[in-house]
Amino acid sequence: MNKKLLILIGVGTLFVTLTAAHAKTTLMQIGRSPFYQPPLTTSETLLTMVQTREKDVKTGFEKAGMVELFKPFMAQIANTQIDTVKFHKGDTFKWMLFKKKGLGVVRVARDVTWGNEEPFTGFRFSIENGGKVFMFAVPLGCGNIAFVGVKSPVAPVAPVAPVSAPKPVAVSNKDPECKMVVSSTEEFCGEQITVDASSSVDPDGEIIGMTIGVIDAQGNVVTETKVKDGALIGYIPMPCGATTIKTTVTDNSGASTTSAACNVAVNGTNRVRLVADLGYYNMPDPGNYLFGRIGMEYKFSENWGMLAMVGAAPQIEGFDGVSAFLIDVLGEYSYSRYFVNLGVGGWLTDGDQDLETENSQLDFIVGVGARVYGEPQDFNTSLFLEVRAAFDEFDHFVDYGRFGFGVRFRF
C-alpha cells in the first residue's frame, strides 16, 4: 500500500484517539446530564434506579475499568447502609457516570471535583469486595453513580447466635409486593429481553404467577403475556419505540398487584435506517466534484454497522476526469460521537476507459467523522472526511486519489 495512504489512515486514527481523550472535570451544577430522572428522594428510589438501569450500570462500570465490582454492587446495595449527606466544595470523586442531557449512551467523567460554593445532597454508601470497602456517592438530583475511593480493609465479623423465629400470627391476606428488573431498557426491536420479578415478595404467603404487559405512550395495552408454570422470570421481544413494561404478580390467595418498580420505560430501536450524504471531492490532477449518496444503514451492534449507498459525483470543474455514478459499501465502527469508515466503492463512468482519470474503477475508501447534532437513536447529523482511490492506482494516489468532506444525515 502506498506510504502516503498509510500516513493518511494513521492521521485519521490519531484524530479519533485525541478527540476521545478525557480530562479532569469541575462540576458546578447537578442535573444537567442526569444518569436517571426523576430526582431521587429515598433509598427505595435509589434501589429502583439501580434495578431498572442495570444494563447502564454495568456498561458504566466497564467503561470505568471496574467491571469486577459490578456484581458485588448489585448484590449488596439493597442491604448496605445508605446515608443522606451534604457534599461540599472541594469534595472529589474518582469517576462519575452520566448521560449527556439525560439521553444516549452512558459516559464516564474522571477526577470530578465539586466546585460550587453551595453543597449538594446525595446518598453515601459502601460495597465490600476482596477484603476492601469501596465508597460510593449518588447525587439526589441526577442519580449519577460516583466512585469516591477505597477505605481500610473490612474487619472480620463475629458470628451471631441464631434467634428462633416467632410463630406466625394469623392475619388477613396482604397484597404481594412487586419488584422487577428488565435485562435491557434500550435494545434493538425484536431482541429478546428478560423480565425478572423473582425478587417480589408476599408477606403472608407465596407468589404463584406473573403477567407481563407492554403499554404504549398513550397508555394502551399493546400485548399481555402470562408467564407459564408460575415462573417469575419471563422473556419477551423488545417492542419498537418508547413503551413501558408493566408486570403484575399474583399470590396464592388470588391478590394481584403491580408497583412503580414494576413499570419500566424501555426503548426499542431499529437496526435498519435511511442514511444520506452530501459532499465534495477534489482530485489533484485536477478535477472537482460534488457528490451525493443515499442508502441504508444496518447496525450489527451498538458500535458496529454497515452502510450500503448509491449516488452520483458530477464533475463541476477540472481538466481531467468525468462525472461518475457511485455504488459504495462501508463498514463503520463508532464510539461515543466519533466513527471510522472503511470500505469499497464503484466509481462508474462513460469516459475513456484507457485514461486513468476517466475510467470506471473499484475504489478503496477510508473516512473519519463525528456526530454534531442529535442523539444516536434519533435523527442526527455528522461531518466527515473521506478519501477514495482505485486499487490499481495506488502508485498515482497523489494525482488520482479523490479527497473529500461531507455531511451525513441519519433518519
3 within a domain of the structure (yes/no) = no
313 within a domain of the structure (yes/no) = yes
Measured between its terminal Cα atoms, the distance across the chain in Å is: 36
170 within a domain of the structure (yes/no) = no
Say whether both 230 and 281 belong to one domain.
no
Select from 216, 240, 269 the last residue of a domain: 269
367 within a domain of the structure (yes/no) = yes
393 within a domain of the structure (yes/no) = yes
H or E element at residue 288? strand 287-299
Structure confidence at residue 253 as a pLDDT band (50, 70, 90): confident
Model pLDDT for residues 17-67, shown as the tens digit of each residue: 433 444 578 889 998 889 998 889 998 999 999 999 999 999 999 999 999
- Mean residue pLDDT of the chain comes to 88
Say whether both 343 and 236 belong to one domain.
no
| 309-326 average pLDDT score | 91
Say whether both 288 and 406 belong to one domain.
yes
401 within a domain of the structure (yes/no) = yes
**Of 321, 332, 323, 311, nearest in space to 401 by CA:** 321
Model pLDDT for residues 382-396, shown as the tens digit of each residue: 999 999 999 988 888
CA dihedral 69, 75, 78, 83 (to 10 degrees): -20
Say whether both 215 and 283 belong to one domain.
no
168 within a domain of the structure (yes/no) = no
Say whether both 106 and 219 belong to one domain.
no
pLDDT at 158: 52
Say whether both 406 and 280 belong to one domain.
yes
Q: Are 56 and 185 in contact (CB under 8 A)?
A: yes
Select from 215, 236, 269 the last residue of a domain: 269
Select from 247, 269, 291 the last residue of a domain: 269
Statement: residue 138 has pLDDT above 90 = yes
Three cell numbers written together for 115 = 466546585
Partners of residue 49 on adjacent β-strands: none
Task: Give me the number of domains the chain comprises.
Answer: 3
Q: Are 364 and 344 in contact (CB under 8 A)?
A: yes
Say whether both 277 and 305 belong to one domain.
yes
pLDDT at 381: 97
Residue 402 is part of a domain; what is its CATH number?
2.40.160.20
CA dihedral 64, 69, 70, 71 (to 10 degrees): 170
Residue 193 is part of a domain; what is its CATH number?
2.60.40.10
Alpha-carbon gap, residue 285 to 322, rounded angstroms: 12
Model pLDDT for residues 323-378, shown as the tens digit of each residue: 999 999 999 999 999 999 999 999 999 988 888 888 899 999 999 999 999 988 88
Alpha-carbon gap, residue 143 to 35, rounded angstroms: 5
pLDDT at 310: 98
11 within a domain of the structure (yes/no) = no
CB hemisphere CA count around 243 (13 angstroms): 22
Statement: residue 163 has pLDDT above 80 = no
Model pLDDT for residues 42-56, shown as the tens digit of each residue: 989 999 999 999 999
Say whether both 112 and 227 belong to one domain.
no
Say whether both 280 and 397 belong to one domain.
yes
| 135-157 average pLDDT score | 82
**Of 263, 201, 300, nearest in space to 52 by CA:** 263
Say whether both 31 and 89 belong to one domain.
yes
Say whether both 293 and 355 belong to one domain.
yes
Give the position of cell 441464631: 162
Say whether both 213 and 334 belong to one domain.
no
The whole domain housing 125 covers 23-151
